[in-house]
A and B are shown apart, each in its own frame.
Chain A
């Protein structure tokens, strides 16, 4: 827009310039005011979550509300951690997330490479089929999948939450990576092939390093999706000790915190569950944004 604003005075008649300059400044101020208002809408609930997590039980319902608890009860975090075996929940979450993520990145990238670089009959039809599976509601296939895992004797194990990732869970990841592979000039691969590299070597040693930003983008998105996945654990896991954090949080809300909600503990648990994702977001923000933008702009 910068260039647009600079061109304007030259075009508009001189008498109008004064008024339009004042209008320009008013418009700028309005823009910032609205942006600040929006930021407050985002921030206030966040601040409330953290504030609540540091309160003593008796000051939860104070009127007017206390924004900065005095003194802040850091022990809420320790207590919330101990009400249920949250240490175990964390290990489970990490276990599930890591396995699913690794398989997801590996297979999505290999499939994307195939679609981007190799010509074979029915390629476009198959790719459209892949994209259309994004629209299939997960709930529709959940019952047959449940039956399948039950027949395999894997209910109440971590297998349904991890093994399936080998079979490309995220069509959107394939789409994203394919877009990136297609921007790489073919000459690079051709040189390697002339040097005698096989397909896997070209993919692993040449192509993957070149699409590193896209790999990191799907890595953070996959981490987020698996860390926050609720539906899968809810359906497949029954034993408390096998719960990931999100299911532990829900269990706490449904049992110990049902009649008289212990908001200070629940907010502390939420904060702990969100902390790794938020930290990752601040470190790797670029990749989050890259990941969600590609679908919308390049699609």
Chain B
């Protein structure tokens, strides 16, 4: 039993030593090649990342593209099949479109709702409220809870005899319907996930936006008041433009995060036919089937393209709404 830990400790020590030694060696070699002292040290210092980039990002990135053109499983070597995986995905896989649709719809609701909710809360907290530290702690709490615990908790809250149904019981009685079990009722899976997702990220976004609000110089508001601008006008013409870089950051991170929903799905037990996220589907294909690793790699590439398209869309639109105030200190 102790052997497991020792094995990893040895691996860990070897990798650590190798990194440090290679940094020293790189520095020496670059100096010997005539690179100036500062540049040689600089390259040596960023070497851990450079190696990591090659080994853990670029290499696997290229390899996964190759795998996506093959039939490949844990027990056999890859067999080249050209674009068959992609053709199969778009034409023959009955699960592909529902999975994309579900992931897309989840993001479509989750990202804007999370952003607007956080903006609203941050605005409230910026109204010079008493006990700001307390409120900030409270709102950030859900973001500290492990995603697994959050998912289990909400699964229980949404269960047939869970708390949500108890709270909603008057409404059910009024409409004369039976209390549903949210995560087993196909139509309620998406709203269930959206509510759960909002509860989880809400706090972190609120804190980021609040810090952005606190960074807006006071004198801008004072000038606007002298010009006779009302509360709403001040919010629209000063607060929002000045906050737009933070909003942009939260939006990008939100899109990337919600397209990659994964952990929660393993703690919410629901019918797998409806409501599978793309990442979960990729995992199931790669590790749940015998020869699915090539197909899973192809799915991964499609997921990457989708995420890139959306982030690119936001980036392209940013000059129209994100306002950078030159090189402001801080």
Physical interaction between A and B: yes
A→B interface (CB under 8 Å): 1-5, 7-8, 11, 27-28, 31-32, 34-35, 38-39, 41-46, 48-49, 52, 60-61, 63-65, 95, 99, 103, 107, 110-111, 113-115, 117-121, 123, 126, 129-130, 133-148, 150, 154, 157-159, 162-164, 166-169, 171, 174, 199, 224, 227-228, 230-231, 234-235, 241-242, 246, 249-250, 253, 258, 261, 263, 266-267, 270-271, 273-274, 277-278, 281-282, 285, 288-289, 292-293, 295-299
Q: A39-B139, A119-B38, A263-B156 are in contact. List 6 more A-B contacts (CB 8 A).
A: A11-B225, A49-B156, A139-B279, A140-B301, A235-B287, A289-B207
Chain B's interface: helix, strand, loop or mixed, by majority?
A: helix
A–B complex contacts, Cβ < 8 Å, 13 sampled: A27-B127, A115-B45, A118-B45, A119-B42, A143-B296, A143-B297, A159-B12, A167-B48, A167-B55, A168-B52, A230-B147, A288-B144, A292-B207
- In the bound complex, do residue A31 and residue B48 qualify as a contact, i.e. CB atoms below 8 Å apart? no
Q: Kindly state the separation between the CA atoms of A12 and B64 in the bound complex, as whole angstroms.
A: 66
Query: How close is B171's CB to chain A, nearest CB, in angstroms?
Result: 16
Task: Report the minimum CB–CB distance from A202 to chain B (whole Å).
Answer: 10
Contact status of A129 and B144, CB under 8 A, knowing A11-B226, A296-B211: no
Q: Are B263 and A39 in contact (CB under 8 A)?
A: no
**Among B1, B203, B208, B215, which residue has the most Cβ atoms of chain A within 10 A?**
B208
Question: What are the residues of chain A within 8 A of B137 when measuring CB–CB?
Answer: 282, 285
Query: Beyond A3-B222, A163-B8, is A35–B46 a contact (Cβ under 8 Å)?
Result: no
Which residues does chain A contribute within 8 Å of B147, judged by CB atoms?
228, 230
Q: Closest chain B residue to A32 by CB distance?
A: B129
Q: Which residue of B lies closest to A107 (CB)?
A: B48
Nearest chain B CB to A16 CB, angstrom units: 12
Known: A1-B127, A167-B52, A224-B144. A137 touches B266 (CB 8 A): no
A286→B159 CA distance, assembly (Å)? 36
One of B93-101, B106-114, B185-193, B243-251 contacting the partner: B243-251
Interface of chain B residues 124 through 163 with chain A (CB within 8 A):
124-129, 135-142, 144-149, 152-154, 156-157, 159, 161, 163
Quick one: which of A95, A114, A118 contacts B5, CB cutoff 8 A?
A: A95
Whole-angstrom CA separation of A295 from B55 in the bound complex: 26
Main secondary structure of the interface of A (DSSP, over half): helix
The contact of A230 among B9, B135, B266, by CB within 8 Å, is: B266
Question: With an 8 A cutoff between CB atoms, is B49 at the interface?
Answer: yes
Q: How far is the CA of A83 from the CA of B218 in the complex (A)?
A: 58
Looking at B38, B44, B45, which has the most chain A CB atoms within 10 Å of its CB? B45
Q: A111-B48, A144-B63 are in contact. Are A227 and B262 (CB under 8 A)?
A: no
Nearest CB of chain B from residue A239's CB, rounded to whole Å: 9
Q: Are A296 and B127 in contact (CB under 8 A)?
A: no
Q: Distance (Å) between the CB of A133 and the closest chain B CB?
A: 5
A157 and B4 contacting across the interface, CB-CB below 8 Å: yes
The yes or no answer to B204 lying at the interface (CB within 8 A) is yes
How far is B107's CA from A75's CA once the two chains are assembled, in angstroms?
41
Kindly provide the distance from the CB of B86 to the nearest chain A CB, expressed in whole angstroms: 15
A1–B231 CA distance with the chains assembled, in angstroms: 11
Contact check, B222 vs A7: say whether CB atoms are below 8 A apart. yes
Contact B125 A167 (CB under 8 A): no
- CB of A4 within 8 A of CB of B145, answer no
Give the complex CA separation of A266 and B267 in angstroms: 11
Instruction: Verify A270–B152 contact, CB threshold 8 A.
Output: yes
In-complex Cβ contact of B146 among A129, A168, A274 (8 A): A274
A-side contacts of B38, CB under 8 Å: 118-120
Residues of B within 8 A of A146 (CB): 286
Task: Answer yes or no: B105 CB below 8 A from chain A CBs.
Answer: no
**Residues of A close to B15: CB separation below 8 A:** 163, 166-167
- A297/B215 in contact, CB under 8 A: yes
Contact with A along B205-219 (1 / 0, CB 8 A): 001110110010010
| B39 engages A270 (CB within 8 Å) | no
Min CB distance B195 to A, Å, is: 10
Give the residues in chain B near A136, CB-CB below 8 Å. 57, 61, 304
A contact residues around B57 at 8 Å (CB): 133, 136, 141
Cα distance A5–B145 when bound, in Å? 37
Complex alpha-carbon distance, A256 and B50, angstroms:
45
Q: How far is the CA of A121 from the CA of B204 in the complex (A)?
A: 37
Closest beta carbon of chain B to A131's beta carbon, Å: 11
Chain B contacts for A263, CB-based, 8 A: 156, 159
Q: Are A141 and B60 within 8 A (Cβ)?
A: yes
Minimal beta-carbon separation of A262 from chain B (angstroms): 11
Answer whether residue B19 sits at the interface, using C-beta atoms and an 8 A cutoff.
yes
- Shortest Cβ gap from A97 to chain B (Å): 12
- Residue pair A293, B211 in contact (C-beta under 8 Å): yes
- B146, A142: Cβ atoms under 8 Å? no
Alpha-carbon gap, A55 to B253, bound state (A): 39
Contact status A296-B246, CB under 8 Å:
yes
